[in-house]
Amino acid sequence: MALSDLIKFQPATSNPGSWPLLFWPFLILLLGLGPYALAEVLDRQDQLHSLTQAVHELEPKVKWARYEQAKVYAVAMDVLHLASTDSNAARIVAEFKIHSNQAGQATATAATNAAPVNPPGIKAE
């Protein structure tokens, strides 16, 4: 066998009788990747389920926080309106840097100058 014969590379696919040499490794690869992919999909579903459950558990806390935020905005707007006539309220406004924003978001919950009612399903302390 000459050195020139060793240098020539003939891929196995060029030989028509070599297809079983490639079929079995690919079949073994696919049979191995199938269960792995299924396990990954099931793991992702478990993660999604646990995340969804955690979000549902946080929902009452978020409602309560929004309720408390609305109460704070109502009090802040009352103090802000009172600041024009009361020096103590003006001092509180200056100290805590209370101001109404341009979009009026703080005034939306305090339009009646009263704290909002409890959200459904949440009891007041």
24-50 per-position pLDDT tens digit: 888 899 999 999 999 999 999 999 999
Q: Nearest-CA neighbor of 115 among 52, 78, 63, 71?
A: 71
Residue found under tokens 């079995």:
24
CA distances from 54 to 45, 49, 64, 115 (A): 14, 9, 16, 30
Query: By CB neighbour count within 10 A (0-12 exposed, 13-18 middle, 19+ buried), where does 73 fall?
Result: buried
Q: Nearest-CA neighbor of 119 among 78, 80, 61, 42?
A: 61
* Element at 83 (helix H, strand E): none
Q: Which of 13-22, 30-39, 83-92 has the lowest mean pLDDT?
A: 13-22
